[in-house]
Structure 1
Amino acid sequence: MGNQPTCGTPYGLPPLRPELQVALDEMGAKEGYFAYAVCRTHDGQAWEVNIREGGMCFALDGRYLDHDEAMAVGVAWLLEQLDRELTDDEAAYRRLWEAWPSELSKGEIERRRRGAVKAE
């Protein structure tokens, strides 16, 4: 589950904080191109919304006082993504993402990429 040394240094990436790793794993388990998950902020004082577009993950701007508020923001973001037309660049990236090997789920590909699952 840890990060592998993939960023050009012998040390690799630092480990994610546990609550963020759980959110990342939750998004990785979802099959769709767009996904979201909420987790506590680094200081534990609020909630944040993490999003995935294809294989790229980001955090939305904003901190929310409770879990339900953060979930509502995540749902609103997801619905907005599903309702809008992709730009040409986004459409090209999505075609590449969808062309990944069909015998593997997108979530499994993401986990393998992160080194969480060993390829057979």
Structure 2
Amino acid sequence: MVVQTELSDDETDRLFQALAAATRRDILRRTILDEQSVSALAADYDMSFAAVQKHIAVLEAAGLVIKRAEGRERLVRADPRMIARARALLARYEDLWRSRIDRLDALLAEPASTRTPREPHDTREPNPVPGD
């Protein structure tokens, strides 16, 4: 089985929206450890059952959890495949920033005499707006 690692812009937006709320992050954490019923999840929050269901729906739309029916219960578990894709996305961002820092470190380690001179920046204040 091949797991797609690249996330589309829409998937990335849904992922970060889903992870933006502490309640959703907690639901995700709890469902990584063990599959939970929606009722069991809702019992631990000071909000309505419907509000918890909405949080789960956001996580489900982002692909972070899978909800299934078992009799009258709805069970929720984290989807490790999407978590792996999210981790890969964050690792790419980390690699990008590490390479930028490495380039900056290399530049700063160069002796000043070998650096290419640059034009000085104009640090003067812009002309005042007439009438001020």
Give the number of the structure whose residues are more often helix, by fraction.
2
Task: Give the TM-score normalised by structure 1.
Answer: 0.30
Structure whose alpha-carbon radius of gyration is higher: 2
Give the number of the structure whose residues are more often strand, by fraction.
1
